Every structure is written in C-alpha cells, then in structure tokens.
C-alpha cells in the first residue's frame, strides 16, 4: 500500500491546512507570515507560527476542560495542530471587553475605556467585501446563519470570553478583545480556527503594554518579544 501523502487543502494569510488519512481530521500549519488591514500590510514575525500554535493548543485545551467544544485534538509539532474538520460558518464573532481598534474609531470612545459589559459583534467573512460588520438582519439576509445559530454563536462567544478573561487575568494579561470562528462537527457547534496573539488583543494587566499583533499593525517594534511573552505566561504553571 502506498504511503499517505498529505494534500494542501487551503492556504490563508496565516495558516495552511493539510489533509490526513481521516476525512474527519486535518492538520493546521501556522506560518510566520503576518498581515494587517485586510492584507494591505504584509510582513513576517519570526517564530510567530510556533508561538500561535502552542498558545492555541494551550487555550483550546483549557476551554475543552471547561466543557466547550473545540476542533483541537492534539499538537503534532511546534507549529502544527491536528484538528477536527469543520464545516465552517462564514462569520467572525468578536468579543470586546475594552475599547480598542475599530470600536474606538466607530464610537469615538477613548482607547482603553473598560466596558460595563462585553460587546459581541458579528462580521461577514468575505475578502472581496472587506469582512463587513453585520447586524442580525444582515446575517439572515445573506443566509450566513439561522436566527437560532446566531443566538448560539453569541452565547458561545460570551461563555468563552468569561473563561478566557479569567484565565488571562490570572497571568496578568488583560483580554481586550478577540476573534472567534465556529463550524459544525457531527451536528454540534464547535469552536475552530485559532486563539493567539494574532486573533486577540492582549495587554499587560498593570502597564497596559500591548503584547499582540497591534505591535505589528502600528510599527511599535518588539513584536517577536511580545508574542514570546504571551507564550511564556500562557504556558506557565
């Protein structure tokens, strides 16, 4: 019998997805490539792929221990994860705890303003449209999700936000905001993609130093050191 040869199923800005012998499983490979502003800014962050894979593995494991369904199965090596193959929902769910980024631009509130309650936003995944912010009616118009699934997505995001905020605070990290993507596995709504300094805004709890991709977006320098510091704190016993 011929040896199995993995096939490249998908390559995005930050990851490659490879086939496995099981039709229900794929391997996610994390790249060092970095993009911002819908791909308008491009570069590399040395070691980013390995950091993001390891941080994601740690956080997915923590969420699973809290009863939250994720696609994560195991870490293959320093930059590859074996995950369940999901039928993805074409929406990004953003949970925000502190004003930053586009929320500051859209509301005029000062960056760093702590919110009385988390804000959950829905974005439509479509590169040609620039991943626009949608309200519930837009989601239903585009048939991106049913009303029931949309409600479940928001509830799941709030639950995950509660768990991760507590996790990060215990490591002196402030979870400012973060992006989640979900799909279906065996009829169950399941968290996919990654959770890393690429997809989360993370600030030092005391100094409010940025330890995430904003250092790349804003040319703040020290990007690699910031990512490694997040990894150190996340994996600290």
Strands 87-98 and 41-44: unpaired
- Band (pLDDT 50/70/90 cuts) for residue 50 is very high
Residue 225 structure tokens? 């050191």
**What is the average pLDDT value for the chain, to the nearest integer?**
96
Given the structure tokens 């400012």, which residue do they identify? 176
pTM: 0.95
**Backbone phi, psi, residue 213, to 5°:** -70, -10
Check if CATH label 3.30.470.20 holds for domain 88-222.
yes
Quote the CA–CA distance of 154 and 28 in Å, as a whole number.
Answer: 25
Per-residue pLDDT at 148 exceeds 80:
yes
Quote the CA–CA distance of 164 and 170 in Å, as a whole number.
Answer: 10
Per-residue pLDDT at 118 exceeds 70:
yes
Quote the CA–CA distance of 68 and 186 in Å, as a whole number.
Answer: 15
Check if CATH label 3.30.200.20 holds for domain 8-84.
yes
169-210 pLDDT per residue, tens: 999 999 999 999 999 999 999 999 999 999 999 999 999 999
The angle at the Cα of 232, spanning 79 to 166, to the nearest 5 degrees, equals 105
Residue 64 structure tokens? 């699973």
Per-residue pLDDT at 38 exceeds 80:
no
The pLDDT value given to residue 32:
95
Share of the chain above pLDDT 70, in %: 99
Residue 153 structure tokens? 């997505």
- Partnered with residue 210 across adjacent β-strands are 203
The pLDDT value given to residue 41:
80
The pLDDT value given to residue 2:
72
**Backbone phi, psi, residue 179, to 5°:** -110, 140
- Band (pLDDT 50/70/90 cuts) for residue 237 is low
Burial of 184 (0-12, 13-18, 19+ CB in 10 A): middle
Longest dimension (CA), the chain: 63
- DSSP class of residue 136? H
Q: For the residues 82-107, what does the mean pLDDT come to?
A: 98
- Band (pLDDT 50/70/90 cuts) for residue 4 is confident
Q: For the residues 116-124, what does the mean pLDDT come to?
A: 98
The pLDDT value given to residue 102:
96
Say if CB 100 and CB 176 are below 8 A apart: yes
Domain positions in the chain are 8-84, 88-222
| 8-84 and 88-222 in the same fold | no
């Amino acid at each position: 019998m011929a040896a199995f040869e993995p096939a490249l199923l998908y390559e995005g800005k930050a990851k490659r997805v490879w086939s496995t012998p099981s039709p229900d499983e794929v391997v996610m490979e994390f790249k060092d490539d970095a993009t911002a502003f819908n791909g308008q800014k491009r570069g590399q962050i040395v070691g980013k792929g390995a950091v993001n894979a390891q941080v994601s593995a740690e956080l997915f494991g923590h969420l699973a221990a809290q009863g939250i369904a994720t696609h994560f199965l195991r870490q293959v090596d320093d930059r590859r994860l074996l995950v369940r193959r999901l039928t993805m929902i074409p929406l990004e769910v953003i949970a925000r705890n502190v004003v930053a980024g586009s929320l500051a631009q859209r509301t005029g509130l000062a960056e760093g303003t702590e919110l009385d309650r988390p804000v959950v936003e829905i974005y439509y995944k479509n590169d040609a449209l620039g991943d626009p912010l949608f309200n519930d009616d837009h989601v239903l118009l585009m048939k991106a999700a049913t009303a029931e699934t949309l409600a479940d997505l928001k509830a799941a995001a709030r639950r995950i936000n509660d768990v991760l905020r507590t996790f990060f605070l215990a490591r002196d990290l402030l979870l400012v905001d973060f992006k989640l993507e979900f799909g279906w596995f065996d009829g169950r709504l399941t968290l996919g993609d990654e959770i890393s300094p690429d997809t989360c805004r993370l600030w030092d709890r005391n100094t409010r130093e940025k330890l995430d991709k904003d250092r790349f977006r804003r040319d703040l320098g020290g990007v690699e050191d910031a990512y490694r510091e997040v990894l150190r704190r996340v994996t600290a016993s």
